[in-house]
Structure 1
Amino acid sequence: MPNAIDTHADAVNEKVVYQNPLLFLKVWELEGVERVRRATDAWHWHYHKEVEFLAIFEGGLEVQTMTSLTTLGPGDVMVIGSSRPHRTWSLNGKPARYLVFQVDLVRHFDQSILPYLHHFSELTSPLEDLNYIFEASPAARNEAHALISEIYDETYRGKTGYEIAVSASIKRLLLLLLRGDDRGVLRGTEEAGIARMRPVLDYVESRLGEKIAVDDVRRLLGMSYHHFIKTFKRTMGIPFVDYVNYNRIKKAERLLLTTDLSIMEVSFEVGIWNMAQFYKLFKRHNQHSPKEFRQRMRN
Protein backbone atom coordinates (compact mmCIF):
# COMPACT_ATOMS: atom_id res chain seq x y z
CA MET A 1 0.00 0.00 0.00
CA PRO A 2 1.28 3.53 -0.76
CA ASN A 3 2.55 5.68 2.06
CA ALA A 4 -0.40 6.81 4.17
CA ILE A 5 1.01 10.33 4.44
CA ASP A 6 1.05 10.83 0.67
CA THR A 7 -1.12 13.73 -0.46
CA HIS A 8 -2.94 14.46 -3.69
CA ALA A 9 -1.13 17.76 -4.22
CA ASP A 10 0.73 16.37 -7.24
CA ALA A 11 -2.26 14.57 -8.73
CA VAL A 12 -2.16 14.17 -12.51
CA ASN A 13 -5.05 15.62 -14.51
CA GLU A 14 -5.76 12.69 -16.79
CA LYS A 15 -7.25 13.36 -20.22
CA VAL A 16 -9.77 10.68 -21.11
CA VAL A 17 -9.93 9.81 -24.82
CA TYR A 18 -13.47 8.75 -25.65
CA GLN A 19 -14.06 5.61 -27.71
CA ASN A 20 -17.08 7.30 -29.24
CA PRO A 21 -17.21 11.11 -29.08
CA LEU A 22 -21.02 11.03 -29.08
CA LEU A 23 -21.16 8.83 -25.98
CA PHE A 24 -18.50 10.69 -23.99
CA LEU A 25 -17.12 7.56 -22.34
CA LYS A 26 -14.26 5.14 -22.11
CA VAL A 27 -14.68 1.61 -20.78
CA TRP A 28 -12.09 -1.15 -20.68
CA GLU A 29 -11.05 -4.27 -18.80
CA LEU A 30 -7.89 -4.66 -16.75
CA GLU A 31 -6.67 -8.18 -16.13
CA GLY A 32 -3.52 -9.88 -14.87
CA VAL A 33 -0.78 -8.98 -12.44
CA GLU A 34 1.26 -7.29 -15.16
CA ARG A 35 -1.54 -4.76 -15.63
CA VAL A 36 -1.88 -3.96 -11.94
CA ARG A 37 0.70 -1.92 -10.08
CA ARG A 38 2.07 -3.50 -6.90
CA ALA A 39 1.76 -1.78 -3.56
CA THR A 40 5.53 -1.24 -3.44
CA ASP A 41 5.52 0.69 -6.72
CA ALA A 42 5.15 4.44 -6.93
CA TRP A 43 1.47 5.08 -7.54
CA HIS A 44 0.50 8.65 -8.19
CA TRP A 45 -2.82 10.29 -7.61
CA HIS A 46 -4.82 11.12 -10.72
CA TYR A 47 -8.16 12.68 -11.55
CA HIS A 48 -10.36 13.50 -14.53
CA LYS A 49 -13.59 15.37 -15.11
CA GLU A 50 -15.34 12.10 -15.98
CA VAL A 51 -17.13 10.14 -13.27
CA GLU A 52 -15.52 6.71 -12.82
CA PHE A 53 -17.16 3.38 -12.00
CA LEU A 54 -15.21 0.25 -11.05
CA ALA A 55 -16.71 -3.24 -11.32
CA ILE A 56 -14.64 -6.14 -9.95
CA PHE A 57 -14.74 -9.66 -11.42
CA GLU A 58 -11.79 -11.46 -9.83
CA GLY A 59 -9.17 -10.71 -7.21
CA GLY A 60 -9.11 -7.63 -5.02
CA LEU A 61 -8.49 -3.94 -5.48
CA GLU A 62 -7.80 -1.16 -3.01
CA VAL A 63 -9.03 2.31 -3.90
CA GLN A 64 -7.93 5.43 -2.09
CA THR A 65 -9.69 8.77 -2.45
CA MET A 66 -9.29 12.00 -0.52
CA THR A 67 -11.68 10.75 2.16
CA SER A 68 -11.58 6.96 2.16
CA LEU A 69 -9.64 3.75 1.61
CA THR A 70 -11.85 1.01 0.21
CA THR A 71 -11.16 -2.67 -0.42
CA LEU A 72 -13.12 -4.16 -3.30
CA GLY A 73 -13.64 -7.83 -4.11
CA PRO A 74 -15.46 -9.89 -6.75
CA GLY A 75 -18.91 -8.47 -7.48
CA ASP A 76 -18.18 -5.11 -5.87
CA VAL A 77 -18.84 -1.74 -7.49
CA MET A 78 -17.55 1.73 -6.67
CA VAL A 79 -18.22 5.20 -8.05
CA ILE A 80 -15.72 8.08 -7.93
CA GLY A 81 -16.95 11.61 -8.60
CA SER A 82 -15.85 14.10 -11.21
CA SER A 83 -12.33 15.53 -10.72
CA ARG A 84 -11.88 13.60 -7.45
CA PRO A 85 -8.21 12.57 -6.93
CA HIS A 86 -7.85 8.82 -6.46
CA ARG A 87 -5.45 5.90 -6.92
CA THR A 88 -5.77 2.12 -6.99
CA TRP A 89 -3.58 -0.93 -6.49
CA SER A 90 -4.09 -4.68 -6.42
CA LEU A 91 -4.81 -6.30 -3.09
CA ASN A 92 -1.69 -8.03 -1.73
CA GLY A 93 -0.04 -7.66 -5.14
CA LYS A 94 -2.19 -10.45 -6.61
CA PRO A 95 -3.86 -10.39 -10.04
CA ALA A 96 -7.21 -8.69 -10.40
CA ARG A 97 -9.74 -8.48 -13.22
CA TYR A 98 -12.11 -5.54 -13.34
CA LEU A 99 -13.82 -2.98 -15.54
CA VAL A 100 -13.06 0.73 -15.53
CA PHE A 101 -15.90 2.88 -16.83
CA GLN A 102 -15.30 6.62 -17.21
CA VAL A 103 -18.16 8.81 -18.42
CA ASP A 104 -19.07 12.46 -18.66
CA LEU A 105 -22.51 12.10 -17.10
CA VAL A 106 -23.59 15.64 -17.93
CA ARG A 107 -23.57 14.78 -21.64
CA HIS A 108 -26.23 12.12 -21.10
CA PHE A 109 -28.82 14.53 -19.75
CA ASP A 110 -31.12 15.25 -22.68
CA GLN A 111 -34.18 17.50 -22.43
CA SER A 112 -36.35 14.74 -20.97
CA ILE A 113 -34.15 14.20 -17.90
CA LEU A 114 -32.42 17.57 -17.66
CA PRO A 115 -34.45 18.48 -14.53
CA TYR A 116 -32.41 15.82 -12.69
CA LEU A 117 -29.04 17.26 -13.68
CA HIS A 118 -28.83 19.18 -10.44
CA HIS A 119 -28.93 15.94 -8.46
CA PHE A 120 -25.61 14.88 -10.00
CA SER A 121 -23.87 18.26 -10.05
CA GLU A 122 -21.76 17.44 -6.94
CA LEU A 123 -22.20 21.01 -5.74
CA THR A 124 -22.69 19.89 -2.14
CA SER A 125 -21.66 16.21 -2.05
CA PRO A 126 -19.30 14.12 -4.21
CA LEU A 127 -20.81 11.10 -5.94
CA GLU A 128 -18.39 8.99 -3.91
CA ASP A 129 -20.82 9.46 -1.01
CA LEU A 130 -23.27 7.22 -2.89
CA ASN A 131 -21.14 4.12 -2.43
CA TYR A 132 -23.14 3.32 0.68
CA ILE A 133 -25.90 2.19 -1.72
CA PHE A 134 -23.72 -0.62 -3.08
CA GLU A 135 -22.47 -1.55 0.38
CA ALA A 136 -25.95 -1.71 1.91
CA SER A 137 -27.90 -3.30 -0.94
CA PRO A 138 -26.69 -6.47 -2.68
CA ALA A 139 -29.48 -6.02 -5.23
CA ALA A 140 -28.31 -2.51 -6.14
CA ARG A 141 -24.69 -3.67 -6.26
CA ASN A 142 -25.54 -6.58 -8.57
CA GLU A 143 -27.64 -4.39 -10.85
CA ALA A 144 -24.92 -1.74 -11.13
CA HIS A 145 -22.32 -4.45 -11.85
CA ALA A 146 -24.54 -5.88 -14.58
CA LEU A 147 -25.17 -2.46 -16.15
CA ILE A 148 -21.46 -1.63 -16.30
CA SER A 149 -20.81 -5.04 -17.85
CA GLU A 150 -23.54 -4.37 -20.43
CA ILE A 151 -21.97 -1.03 -21.31
CA TYR A 152 -18.60 -2.74 -21.80
CA ASP A 153 -20.05 -5.58 -23.89
CA GLU A 154 -22.10 -3.29 -26.12
CA THR A 155 -19.20 -0.92 -26.67
CA TYR A 156 -16.77 -3.63 -27.73
CA ARG A 157 -19.20 -5.64 -29.83
CA GLY A 158 -20.28 -2.50 -31.64
CA LYS A 159 -23.45 -4.00 -33.09
CA THR A 160 -25.94 -1.80 -34.89
CA GLY A 161 -27.65 0.41 -32.34
CA TYR A 162 -25.10 -0.16 -29.60
CA GLU A 163 -25.13 3.57 -28.89
CA ILE A 164 -28.81 3.30 -27.96
CA ALA A 165 -28.11 0.34 -25.69
CA VAL A 166 -25.19 2.09 -23.97
CA SER A 167 -27.16 5.31 -23.49
CA ALA A 168 -30.07 3.34 -22.02
CA SER A 169 -27.78 1.51 -19.59
CA ILE A 170 -26.26 4.79 -18.43
CA LYS A 171 -29.71 6.21 -17.75
CA ARG A 172 -30.65 3.05 -15.83
CA LEU A 173 -27.48 3.51 -13.77
CA LEU A 174 -28.50 7.09 -13.01
CA LEU A 175 -31.97 5.91 -12.03
CA LEU A 176 -30.50 3.23 -9.77
CA LEU A 177 -28.47 5.84 -7.89
CA LEU A 178 -31.34 8.31 -7.71
CA ARG A 179 -33.89 5.83 -6.34
CA GLY A 180 -31.42 4.02 -4.14
CA ASP A 181 -30.30 7.18 -2.33
CA ASP A 182 -32.20 6.73 0.94
CA ARG A 183 -29.91 9.17 2.75
CA GLY A 184 -30.63 12.05 0.41
CA VAL A 185 -27.08 12.58 -0.83
CA LEU A 186 -28.49 13.61 -4.20
CA ARG A 187 -30.41 16.63 -3.03
CA GLY A 188 -31.83 18.05 -6.23
CA THR A 189 -34.22 20.80 -6.98
CA GLU A 190 -37.95 20.59 -6.41
CA GLU A 191 -40.32 20.08 -9.32
CA ALA A 192 -41.84 23.48 -8.62
CA GLY A 193 -38.49 25.11 -9.36
CA ILE A 194 -38.20 23.37 -12.72
CA ALA A 195 -41.80 24.22 -13.61
CA ARG A 196 -41.06 27.86 -12.94
CA MET A 197 -38.04 27.73 -15.26
CA ARG A 198 -39.91 25.99 -18.08
CA PRO A 199 -40.63 29.22 -20.04
CA VAL A 200 -36.90 29.98 -20.00
CA LEU A 201 -35.92 26.47 -21.14
CA ASP A 202 -38.45 26.60 -23.97
CA TYR A 203 -37.26 30.07 -24.97
CA VAL A 204 -33.64 28.92 -25.18
CA GLU A 205 -34.50 25.79 -27.15
CA SER A 206 -36.48 27.74 -29.74
CA ARG A 207 -33.88 30.48 -30.22
CA LEU A 208 -30.52 28.72 -30.28
CA GLY A 209 -29.75 30.32 -33.63
CA GLU A 210 -30.22 33.80 -32.23
CA LYS A 211 -28.65 36.02 -29.63
CA ILE A 212 -29.97 35.06 -26.19
CA ALA A 213 -29.63 37.76 -23.57
CA VAL A 214 -30.21 37.37 -19.85
CA ASP A 215 -32.36 40.49 -19.92
CA ASP A 216 -34.75 38.81 -22.35
CA VAL A 217 -35.25 35.64 -20.33
CA ARG A 218 -35.30 37.16 -16.88
CA ARG A 219 -38.30 39.28 -17.94
CA LEU A 220 -40.20 36.07 -18.66
CA LEU A 221 -40.06 35.36 -14.93
CA GLY A 222 -40.29 38.94 -13.75
CA MET A 223 -36.91 38.74 -12.01
CA SER A 224 -34.03 41.13 -11.68
CA TYR A 225 -30.77 40.24 -13.45
CA HIS A 226 -28.94 39.04 -10.33
CA HIS A 227 -31.96 37.25 -8.89
CA PHE A 228 -32.42 35.33 -12.14
CA ILE A 229 -28.74 34.34 -12.38
CA LYS A 230 -28.74 32.96 -8.83
CA THR A 231 -32.13 31.26 -9.13
CA PHE A 232 -31.29 29.57 -12.44
CA LYS A 233 -28.05 28.10 -11.15
CA ARG A 234 -29.65 26.96 -7.90
CA THR A 235 -32.52 25.32 -9.78
CA MET A 236 -30.67 23.78 -12.72
CA GLY A 237 -27.28 23.18 -11.13
CA ILE A 238 -25.51 24.98 -13.98
CA PRO A 239 -24.97 28.69 -14.81
CA PHE A 240 -27.33 30.12 -17.44
CA VAL A 241 -24.55 30.95 -19.92
CA ASP A 242 -23.14 27.42 -19.64
CA TYR A 243 -26.62 25.98 -20.18
CA VAL A 244 -27.08 28.00 -23.37
CA ASN A 245 -23.63 27.10 -24.69
CA TYR A 246 -24.18 23.43 -23.89
CA ASN A 247 -27.37 23.38 -25.95
CA ARG A 248 -25.73 25.32 -28.78
CA ILE A 249 -22.94 22.75 -29.01
CA LYS A 250 -25.35 19.81 -28.85
CA LYS A 251 -27.23 21.31 -31.81
CA ALA A 252 -23.92 21.88 -33.62
CA GLU A 253 -23.03 18.21 -33.18
CA ARG A 254 -26.31 17.17 -34.78
CA LEU A 255 -25.79 19.53 -37.71
CA LEU A 256 -22.23 18.34 -38.29
CA LEU A 257 -23.43 14.75 -38.42
CA THR A 258 -26.63 15.15 -40.41
CA THR A 259 -25.94 18.00 -42.85
CA ASP A 260 -23.27 19.15 -45.29
CA LEU A 261 -23.20 22.67 -43.90
CA SER A 262 -19.75 24.18 -43.61
CA ILE A 263 -18.34 24.62 -40.14
CA MET A 264 -18.92 28.37 -40.39
CA GLU A 265 -22.54 27.79 -41.40
CA VAL A 266 -23.03 25.42 -38.47
CA SER A 267 -21.56 28.01 -36.13
CA PHE A 268 -24.00 30.62 -37.41
CA GLU A 269 -26.93 28.19 -37.21
CA VAL A 270 -26.34 27.73 -33.48
CA GLY A 271 -26.00 31.42 -32.78
CA ILE A 272 -22.23 31.71 -32.46
CA TRP A 273 -20.90 34.30 -34.92
CA ASN A 274 -17.31 34.34 -33.69
CA MET A 275 -15.49 31.35 -35.18
CA ALA A 276 -12.72 31.43 -32.59
CA GLN A 277 -15.31 31.25 -29.83
CA PHE A 278 -17.14 28.41 -31.61
CA TYR A 279 -13.97 26.34 -31.92
CA LYS A 280 -13.09 27.02 -28.30
CA LEU A 281 -16.52 26.01 -27.00
CA PHE A 282 -16.77 22.96 -29.25
CA LYS A 283 -13.37 21.64 -28.24
CA ARG A 284 -14.15 22.24 -24.57
CA HIS A 285 -17.19 19.99 -24.89
CA ASN A 286 -15.78 17.37 -27.27
CA GLN A 287 -11.97 17.39 -27.00
CA HIS A 288 -11.97 17.60 -30.81
CA SER A 289 -12.35 20.43 -33.28
CA PRO A 290 -15.59 20.51 -35.33
CA LYS A 291 -13.71 19.21 -38.38
CA GLU A 292 -12.12 16.36 -36.42
CA PHE A 293 -15.48 15.51 -34.89
CA ARG A 294 -17.20 15.30 -38.28
CA GLN A 295 -14.41 13.25 -39.87
CA ARG A 296 -14.17 10.86 -36.95
CA MET A 297 -17.89 10.20 -36.81
CA ARG A 298 -18.32 9.83 -40.56
CA ASN A 299 -15.41 7.41 -40.77
Structure 2
Amino acid sequence: MAVQPINNNKPPMLGDDYPFNFFQPECDGKVLFHPHWHERHMEIIMMAEGQAEFHIGGRSYDAVPGDIYFMPEGQIHGGYLKKTIPSYYTILFDRSALAGTSSNIRSYEPLLGGELALPDRIRPDDPHYHALAETIRTTIGEFIHQKQGYEMAVRSLLHVLLIRLARAYAAEDGILRDSQADRRHAEQLKHVMMHVDNHYMDKISVQEAAKLANMSVHHFCRTFKKTAGRTFTEFLNSYRINKAAELIVQTDLQITRIAEQVGFGTINYFDEMFKKFTGQSPTQFRKNKGKRQ
Protein backbone atom coordinates (compact mmCIF):
# COMPACT_ATOMS: atom_id res chain seq x y z
CA MET A 1 0.00 0.00 0.00
CA ALA A 2 1.55 3.25 -1.09
CA VAL A 3 1.35 6.25 1.20
CA GLN A 4 -0.07 9.25 -0.59
CA PRO A 5 1.86 12.44 0.14
CA ILE A 6 -0.18 15.41 1.28
CA ASN A 7 1.52 17.92 -0.98
CA ASN A 8 2.21 16.05 -4.19
CA ASN A 9 3.90 18.79 -6.17
CA LYS A 10 5.75 16.34 -8.42
CA PRO A 11 3.41 13.39 -9.01
CA PRO A 12 4.65 10.55 -11.23
CA MET A 13 4.24 11.33 -14.91
CA LEU A 14 4.73 8.88 -17.78
CA GLY A 15 7.82 10.82 -18.80
CA ASP A 16 9.16 14.24 -19.70
CA ASP A 17 7.60 14.01 -23.16
CA TYR A 18 4.26 12.83 -21.75
CA PRO A 19 3.32 15.07 -18.79
CA PHE A 20 0.23 13.13 -17.71
CA ASN A 21 -0.75 9.97 -15.89
CA PHE A 22 -3.81 7.97 -14.86
CA PHE A 23 -4.72 6.35 -11.54
CA GLN A 24 -7.36 4.06 -10.11
CA PRO A 25 -8.25 4.24 -6.41
CA GLU A 26 -6.35 2.58 -3.59
CA CYS A 27 -8.40 2.83 -0.43
CA ASP A 28 -6.60 3.48 2.87
CA GLY A 29 -9.32 2.30 5.22
CA LYS A 30 -12.05 4.93 5.01
CA VAL A 31 -9.88 7.33 3.02
CA LEU A 32 -9.77 7.23 -0.78
CA PHE A 33 -7.21 10.02 -0.89
CA HIS A 34 -6.08 12.31 1.90
CA PRO A 35 -6.65 16.05 1.47
CA HIS A 36 -3.83 17.32 -0.73
CA TRP A 37 -3.15 19.57 -3.70
CA HIS A 38 -0.93 19.83 -6.77
CA GLU A 39 0.85 23.10 -7.40
CA ARG A 40 1.43 22.50 -11.13
CA HIS A 41 -0.98 19.75 -12.03
CA MET A 42 -4.67 19.70 -12.84
CA GLU A 43 -6.72 16.67 -11.83
CA ILE A 44 -9.93 15.27 -13.31
CA ILE A 45 -11.93 12.43 -11.75
CA MET A 46 -14.67 10.53 -13.55
CA MET A 47 -16.85 8.23 -11.44
CA ALA A 48 -17.54 4.79 -12.92
CA GLU A 49 -19.20 2.71 -10.19
CA GLY A 50 -20.21 3.06 -6.56
CA GLN A 51 -20.31 6.17 -4.40
CA ALA A 52 -17.79 8.43 -2.70
CA GLU A 53 -17.60 11.61 -0.67
CA PHE A 54 -15.43 14.30 -2.23
CA HIS A 55 -14.35 17.60 -0.69
CA ILE A 56 -13.08 20.14 -3.21
CA GLY A 57 -12.12 23.68 -2.29
CA GLY A 58 -14.22 23.59 0.88
CA ARG A 59 -17.33 22.16 -0.81
CA SER A 60 -18.74 18.68 -0.17
CA TYR A 61 -20.14 16.33 -2.84
CA ASP A 62 -21.76 12.90 -2.86
CA ALA A 63 -20.15 11.39 -5.94
CA VAL A 64 -22.11 8.92 -8.09
CA PRO A 65 -21.40 7.16 -11.42
CA GLY A 66 -21.13 9.57 -14.34
CA ASP A 67 -20.01 12.55 -12.27
CA ILE A 68 -16.97 14.45 -13.51
CA TYR A 69 -14.90 16.45 -10.99
CA PHE A 70 -12.28 19.11 -11.68
CA MET A 71 -9.44 20.04 -9.30
CA PRO A 72 -7.37 22.88 -10.78
CA GLU A 73 -3.81 23.59 -9.75
CA GLY A 74 -3.38 24.44 -6.06
CA GLN A 75 -6.86 23.43 -4.92
CA ILE A 76 -7.17 21.27 -1.80
CA HIS A 77 -9.23 18.13 -2.36
CA GLY A 78 -9.90 14.92 -0.44
CA GLY A 79 -11.97 11.77 -0.92
CA TYR A 80 -13.63 9.35 1.49
CA LEU A 81 -15.36 6.01 1.37
CA LYS A 82 -19.15 5.88 1.51
CA LYS A 83 -19.90 2.13 1.62
CA THR A 84 -17.79 -0.03 -0.67
CA ILE A 85 -14.69 0.98 -2.61
CA PRO A 86 -15.88 2.81 -5.75
CA SER A 87 -14.44 2.62 -9.22
CA TYR A 88 -13.29 5.85 -10.83
CA TYR A 89 -10.57 7.18 -13.08
CA THR A 90 -8.20 10.02 -12.30
CA ILE A 91 -6.39 11.98 -15.00
CA LEU A 92 -3.51 14.10 -13.72
CA PHE A 93 -1.61 16.36 -16.08
CA ASP A 94 0.64 19.39 -16.34
CA ARG A 95 -1.12 21.96 -18.51
CA SER A 96 1.91 24.18 -19.01
CA ALA A 97 4.05 21.19 -20.03
CA LEU A 98 1.37 20.06 -22.48
CA ALA A 99 1.35 23.54 -23.98
CA GLY A 100 5.13 23.38 -24.27
CA THR A 101 4.93 20.19 -26.35
CA SER A 102 2.85 21.97 -28.98
CA SER A 103 4.47 23.24 -32.16
CA ASN A 104 3.40 26.84 -31.57
CA ILE A 105 3.39 27.67 -27.86
CA ARG A 106 2.23 31.26 -28.38
CA SER A 107 -0.89 30.00 -30.13
CA TYR A 108 -1.67 27.10 -27.80
CA GLU A 109 -0.69 28.42 -24.37
CA PRO A 110 -3.76 30.64 -23.76
CA LEU A 111 -6.03 27.69 -24.50
CA LEU A 112 -4.06 24.95 -22.77
CA GLY A 113 -2.67 26.91 -19.83
CA GLY A 114 -5.01 29.87 -19.38
CA GLU A 115 -7.14 30.66 -16.35
CA LEU A 116 -10.27 28.53 -16.04
CA ALA A 117 -13.34 29.15 -13.89
CA LEU A 118 -14.11 25.44 -13.62
CA PRO A 119 -17.09 24.03 -11.73
CA ASP A 120 -16.15 21.42 -9.14
CA ARG A 121 -18.58 18.95 -10.68
CA ILE A 122 -20.59 18.49 -13.86
CA ARG A 123 -23.38 15.97 -14.47
CA PRO A 124 -25.25 14.79 -17.58
CA ASP A 125 -27.70 17.70 -17.44
CA ASP A 126 -24.83 20.18 -17.92
CA PRO A 127 -24.74 21.47 -21.54
CA HIS A 128 -21.00 20.77 -21.79
CA TYR A 129 -21.13 17.32 -20.19
CA HIS A 130 -21.46 14.97 -23.15
CA ALA A 131 -18.65 16.45 -25.26
CA LEU A 132 -16.30 16.47 -22.25
CA ALA A 133 -17.34 12.98 -21.10
CA GLU A 134 -16.78 11.55 -24.58
CA THR A 135 -13.27 13.01 -24.72
CA ILE A 136 -12.43 11.78 -21.22
CA ARG A 137 -13.72 8.24 -21.93
CA THR A 138 -11.77 8.07 -25.19
CA THR A 139 -8.63 9.28 -23.40
CA ILE A 140 -9.06 6.69 -20.65
CA GLY A 141 -9.66 3.96 -23.26
CA GLU A 142 -6.41 4.84 -25.03
CA PHE A 143 -4.52 4.55 -21.77
CA ILE A 144 -6.15 1.27 -20.70
CA HIS A 145 -5.57 -0.55 -24.01
CA GLN A 146 -2.16 1.04 -24.66
CA LYS A 147 -2.03 0.30 -28.34
CA GLN A 148 0.95 1.52 -30.33
CA GLY A 149 1.26 5.30 -30.07
CA TYR A 150 -1.17 5.61 -27.15
CA GLU A 151 0.98 8.26 -25.44
CA MET A 152 0.71 10.56 -28.45
CA ALA A 153 -3.01 9.83 -28.75
CA VAL A 154 -3.57 10.68 -25.07
CA ARG A 155 -1.59 13.90 -25.39
CA SER A 156 -3.65 14.94 -28.43
CA LEU A 157 -6.91 14.11 -26.66
CA LEU A 158 -5.86 16.15 -23.63
CA HIS A 159 -5.26 19.08 -25.98
CA VAL A 160 -8.81 18.67 -27.26
CA LEU A 161 -10.14 18.36 -23.70
CA LEU A 162 -8.40 21.54 -22.58
CA ILE A 163 -9.61 23.48 -25.60
CA ARG A 164 -13.18 22.40 -24.83
CA LEU A 165 -12.74 23.40 -21.19
CA ALA A 166 -11.33 26.78 -22.21
CA ARG A 167 -14.23 27.44 -24.56
CA ALA A 168 -16.76 26.47 -21.89
CA TYR A 169 -15.16 27.82 -18.72
CA ALA A 170 -12.56 30.46 -19.56
CA ALA A 171 -12.34 32.94 -16.68
CA GLU A 172 -13.74 36.31 -17.65
CA ASP A 173 -11.16 39.06 -17.24
CA GLY A 174 -9.05 36.66 -15.17
CA ILE A 175 -11.61 36.67 -12.35
CA LEU A 176 -11.97 33.24 -10.74
CA ARG A 177 -14.88 32.07 -8.62
CA ASP A 178 -13.04 31.58 -5.36
CA SER A 179 -12.84 34.70 -3.24
CA GLN A 180 -9.58 36.13 -1.98
CA ALA A 181 -10.55 34.99 1.52
CA ASP A 182 -11.08 31.42 0.30
CA ARG A 183 -7.70 31.37 -1.39
CA ARG A 184 -6.01 32.88 1.67
CA HIS A 185 -7.58 30.27 3.96
CA ALA A 186 -6.50 27.50 1.58
CA GLU A 187 -2.90 28.72 1.68
CA GLN A 188 -2.99 28.84 5.48
CA LEU A 189 -4.30 25.27 5.66
CA LYS A 190 -1.68 24.09 3.19
CA HIS A 191 0.95 25.35 5.61
CA VAL A 192 -0.61 23.21 8.35
CA MET A 193 -0.85 20.13 6.13
CA MET A 194 2.79 20.45 5.11
CA HIS A 195 3.67 20.70 8.80
CA VAL A 196 1.80 17.43 9.39
CA ASP A 197 3.65 15.86 6.48
CA ASN A 198 7.00 16.77 8.07
CA HIS A 199 6.15 16.36 11.77
CA TYR A 200 3.37 13.74 12.06
CA MET A 201 5.63 11.75 14.40
CA ASP A 202 5.64 14.64 16.90
CA LYS A 203 2.89 15.88 19.18
CA ILE A 204 0.73 18.37 17.25
CA SER A 205 -2.16 19.97 19.14
CA VAL A 206 -5.14 21.71 17.59
CA GLN A 207 -3.92 24.89 19.28
CA GLU A 208 -0.52 24.58 17.59
CA ALA A 209 -2.12 23.91 14.22
CA ALA A 210 -4.39 26.94 14.60
CA LYS A 211 -1.36 29.09 15.43
CA LEU A 212 0.44 27.84 12.31
CA ALA A 213 -2.62 28.83 10.27
CA ASN A 214 -2.74 32.23 11.97
CA MET A 215 -6.36 31.60 13.02
CA SER A 216 -8.26 31.35 16.26
CA VAL A 217 -8.88 27.77 17.36
CA HIS A 218 -12.60 28.07 16.66
CA HIS A 219 -12.09 29.55 13.18
CA PHE A 220 -9.38 27.03 12.36
CA CYS A 221 -11.49 24.02 13.38
CA ARG A 222 -14.45 25.24 11.36
CA THR A 223 -12.36 26.12 8.30
CA PHE A 224 -10.32 22.91 8.37
CA LYS A 225 -13.38 20.66 8.56
CA LYS A 226 -15.09 22.59 5.77
CA THR A 227 -12.04 22.24 3.53
CA ALA A 228 -10.82 18.73 4.38
CA GLY A 229 -14.16 17.14 5.21
CA ARG A 230 -12.82 15.92 8.55
CA THR A 231 -11.66 17.52 11.77
CA PHE A 232 -7.97 18.26 12.17
CA THR A 233 -7.62 15.47 14.74
CA GLU A 234 -9.30 12.96 12.39
CA PHE A 235 -7.03 14.11 9.56
CA LEU A 236 -3.90 13.78 11.71
CA ASN A 237 -4.85 10.34 13.02
CA SER A 238 -5.72 9.11 9.53
CA TYR A 239 -2.41 10.33 8.18
CA ARG A 240 -0.50 8.65 11.01
CA ILE A 241 -2.38 5.38 10.51
CA ASN A 242 -1.56 5.52 6.80
CA LYS A 243 2.13 5.82 7.63
CA ALA A 244 1.86 3.05 10.23
CA ALA A 245 0.17 0.70 7.75
CA GLU A 246 3.08 1.12 5.37
CA LEU A 247 5.59 0.30 8.12
CA ILE A 248 3.58 -2.72 9.27
CA VAL A 249 3.57 -4.23 5.77
CA GLN A 250 7.05 -3.23 4.62
CA THR A 251 9.13 -3.71 7.79
CA ASP A 252 9.57 -6.16 10.67
CA LEU A 253 9.43 -3.45 13.33
CA GLN A 254 7.47 -4.28 16.46
CA ILE A 255 3.97 -2.80 16.55
CA THR A 256 4.78 -0.82 19.70
CA ARG A 257 7.79 0.70 17.98
CA ILE A 258 5.72 1.63 14.93
CA ALA A 259 3.11 3.28 17.17
CA GLU A 260 5.86 5.45 18.67
CA GLN A 261 7.38 6.31 15.29
CA VAL A 262 4.11 7.62 13.86
CA GLY A 263 3.28 9.77 16.88
CA PHE A 264 0.83 7.77 19.02
CA GLY A 265 1.43 8.17 22.72
CA THR A 266 0.08 4.79 23.85
CA ILE A 267 -0.25 1.40 22.18
CA ASN A 268 -3.88 1.13 23.31
CA TYR A 269 -4.85 4.36 21.55
CA PHE A 270 -2.91 3.28 18.48
CA ASP A 271 -4.72 -0.08 18.38
CA GLU A 272 -8.07 1.69 18.76
CA MET A 273 -7.37 4.17 15.96
CA PHE A 274 -5.85 1.57 13.66
CA LYS A 275 -8.91 -0.65 13.89
CA LYS A 276 -11.20 2.35 13.43
CA PHE A 277 -9.52 3.37 10.18
CA THR A 278 -8.68 -0.06 8.69
CA GLY A 279 -11.19 -2.44 10.25
CA GLN A 280 -8.37 -4.65 11.58
CA SER A 281 -5.93 -4.70 14.45
CA PRO A 282 -2.28 -3.94 13.55
CA THR A 283 -1.41 -7.62 14.09
CA GLN A 284 -4.21 -8.80 11.80
CA PHE A 285 -3.20 -6.22 9.21
CA ARG A 286 0.38 -7.56 9.16
CA LYS A 287 -0.84 -11.15 8.97
CA ASN A 288 -3.05 -10.25 6.00
CA LYS A 289 -0.15 -8.36 4.37
CA GLY A 290 -2.13 -5.15 4.17
CA LYS A 291 -5.18 -6.62 2.48
CA ARG A 292 -8.37 -4.84 3.50
CA GLN A 293 -11.26 -6.85 4.89
TM-score (norm 1): 0.48
Asked which structure has the greater RCO (Cα within 8 Å, sep 6+), the reply is 2
